[in-house]
């Protein structure tokens, strides 16, 4: 990867890169692309896809109400309430 390619990528990504850093970025991008190439060359035909490297299941708690409804207490602190909803100034036309 050369400086011109890095500059084109930066332009497409709409980012500004200092000229003194382009060479280092080119080297890093080259290493990343080499790693991607290595990963693409691995034979995964007989490997089942997995969503997580550990074979664990998420333990879920029961969906139960644990707190009291305090809407009325919270709305006492609001300067404006209408039909049970907080009324705020219009900001978009």
| Each residue's pLDDT tens digit, 67-82 | 999 998 999 999 999 9
The per-residue pLDDT for 28 is 96
- Show the DSSP H helices in the chain as ranges: 3-12, 22-40, 71-75
The per-residue pLDDT for 17 is 93
Q: Which residues, given as ranges, of the chain have pLDDT below 70?
A: none
Is the separation of the CB atoms in 33 and 1 below 8 Å?
yes
Q: Which residues contact 22 (CB under 8 A, 6 or more apart)?
A: 3, 6, 7
The per-residue pLDDT for 26 is 94
The per-residue pLDDT for 58 is 81
pTM of the prediction? 0.50
The per-residue pLDDT for 40 is 93
Domain ranges of the chain: 3-39
How many CA within 13 A on the CB side of residue 15?
11
């Amino acid at each position: 990867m050369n400086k011109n390619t890095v500059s084109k990528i930066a332009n497409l990504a709409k980012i500004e890169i200092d000229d003194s850093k382009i060479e280092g970025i080119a080297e890093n991008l080259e290493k990343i692309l080499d790693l991607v190439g290595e990963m693409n060359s691995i034979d995964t035909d007989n490997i089942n896809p997995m969503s997580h490297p550990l074979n664990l299941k998420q333990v879920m708690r029961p969906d139960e109400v644990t707190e009291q409804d305090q809407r009325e207490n919270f709305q006492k602190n609001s300067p404006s309430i209408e039909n049970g909803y907080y009324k705020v100034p219009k900001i978009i036309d």
